[in-house]
Structure 1
Amino acid sequence: MTLIIRKEGKAHWVFECRRCHVRGNSQDYFRALEHQQWHERTLEHATKPMADSLGIFAEALTELAERFVDSVASAFKPLADVLAPAPNRPHDPTLLRDRRKWGGR
């Protein structure tokens, strides 16, 4: 059980929800019990298990996508090396039209 009510001292009762990391202090057991019941009705407590499971699913999906991208990149790496322009050719098309150096048309 993730919900705990315990007495820590004289007139000091503590309510804890370990799942949500919520802690509440009160003077008597009845108020601690009310705090517990109030917390159980909150949206945070109701959606915490679903949010945790979605976080695990999102991490697994991210890891799968990274592996896929790495495998595709490694498959196309030799092709990228072949299709890369020669290192001595300029990237500017106007320089390629200069017949004196590059041969032009």
Structure 2
Amino acid sequence: MRVMIRYTVQPELVDHSIELLRQVYADLERSRPPRLRYETFRLEGTCQFLAIIESDGGPAEAAHHHLASFQRYRAALNGICTQPPTVTHLEPAGAYQSR
């Protein structure tokens, strides 16, 4: 499963959002769940964020969903977003990666 999640946070809460994300990524580094790729990007000069998540199984089974830090972050999004998260399932159409 590969999904893209986009959301926009209130300008004054961008730093708070980033701090919550740092806690999630610190927990991921400690727990090192297998078969998970999770990346979050802030779109340059905006309050918009984009996350790409790749994992085995469906969204509810993704390892990061079980982290307390992720649950705190997801709960916080309800109060800090100006636009709620939208989830788009991605279907591969091609890829290239140099090594």
TM-score range, shorter chain: under 0.3
Larger helix percent: 1
**Max Rg structure:** 1
Compute the TM-score of the two structures, normalised by the length of structure 1: 0.21
Which structure is higher in RCO with an 8 Å CA cutoff and minimum separation 6?
A: 2
Q: TM-score, normalised by structure 2?
A: 0.22
